[in-house]
Structure 1
């Protein structure tokens, strides 16, 4: 069964940053939805991957980290580390080279031994599905308030993924 935050996340696919001096009001609204409305700056200046994930959770009544930091899911007591990927799990990705506080985060929509596919925000300045090397995954996290997911382990990506401009 699909977690309740996936339906609204899928509905956001295609939302893009506006180039230039203007902002996409939808992206700016994610900040208010996840209690990050205190953040100032344009969508281009503020990394919004964690803001997007938190907004999708908060939008369905699941408390998020209220932080714009991708790695906030790793230390929040509201989230538990899963032993394996699961549909809708929050996947935290390490930067290359690794950085102690910076990373990327998205919702897992597929995984195999080499890659994970994440539905996320600020992926190429948009909400989309992108592929990441499994070796970069810091962890898969799940909201404690939602119990454990029905199944954990590798699974096929159930949506078309855009990777570097190509559908994979």
Structure 2
């Protein structure tokens, strides 16, 4: 269903995000060195020391950074991503979506939507980088990158089939 992601050339944040699909945390005493390297690259390694710490904000931060855009302050806190770019009423491909839940939040990138859910590419979703469905009703804010030249044509609403489990614990 998400095969189109493999051929995306824009927006740059999505190109970076797609490269990381399949990255998994290691449960227990071991930690994925790739995830720890993201923290090091972003100079967050004194705050982010193991992959047992929620890392959805770290994933979005590394994608935004590698795409050449400015990362929000305290990017490890998912809801801080609501301050990214420009808030939008209609989410589109590549937008940053923040979700509220009891005890915190979740952040990821808009891949598409069906009638009930957003399809979100994010990190720390079942302990890995993948696409999940999250109910639209839990959306906190949608933010679009402040484009340096022009908004890519690929930034549009993507309608997808309502297929797959709706995730409640990652939001």
TM-score by length of 2: 0.79
Residue 70 to residue 149, structure 1, CA distance change in 2 (3 Å): farther
Equivalent in 100, 113, 116 of residue 115 of structure 2: 113
Tell me, yes or no, if structure 1 residue 16 matches structure 2 residue 24: yes
Provide structure 1 residue ranges, at least 5 long, that are not aligned to the other structure: none
TM-score after normalising by structure 1: 0.81
Other-structure match for 1:155? 158
Q: Is the 8 A contact 2:55 2:123 kept in 1?
A: yes
Total equivalences in the alignment: 156
Tell me how large the CA RMSD over aligned residues is: 2.5
Contact 1:109 1:157 in 2 (8 A): no
- The CA deviation at 1:40 is 3.9
Q: 1:51 matched to which residue of 2?
A: 58
Q: Which segments of 5 or more consecutive residues in structure 2 lack a partner in the other structure?
A: 1-8
Would you say 1:90 and 2:93 are equivalent positions?
A: no
Contact between 2:60 and 2:123, CA under 8 Å: does it hold in 1? yes
Q: Is the 8 A contact 1:85 1:111 kept in 2?
A: no
| Whole-Å separation in 2 of the counterparts to 1:35 and 1:145 | 24
Determine whether 1:6 maps to 2:14: yes
